[in-house]
Structure 1
Amino acid sequence: MGKQKEKETSKPTFVFGKKNYKWMFIGLAIIALGFILMSGGGSDDPNVFNPEIFSWRRIRLAPMLVLIGFAIQIYAILLSPEKD
Structure 2
Amino acid sequence: MENQTFVFEKKNYMMLIGGIVLMVIGYILMSGGGSDDPNVFNPEIFSFTRIILAPIFILAGLLIEVFAIMVKGK
Q: What TM-score results when the alignment is normalised by the length of structure 2?
A: 0.96
After the TM superposition, which parts of structure 1 deviate over 4 Å for at least 4 consecutive aligned residues?
none
**Aligned match for 1:41, one of 9, 25, 33:** 33
Could you tell me which residue of structure 2 aligns to residue 3 of structure 1?
none
Deviation, structure 1 residue 79: 1.2
Structure 1 CA distance, aligned partners of 2:48 and 2:11?
34
Aligned length: 74
Could you tell me which residue of structure 1 aligns to residue 46 of structure 2?
54
C-alpha contact 1:24 1:72 (8 A) present in aligned 2? yes
Structure 2 unmatched runs, 5+: none
Identity across matched positions, percent? 54
Could you tell me which residue of structure 2 aligns to residue 64 of structure 1?
56
Could you tell me which residue of structure 1 aligns to residue 4 of structure 2?
12
Give the greater-gyration-radius structure (CA).
1
Residue 45 of structure 1 aligns to a residue whose secondary structure is coil
Amino acid at match of 2:65: Q
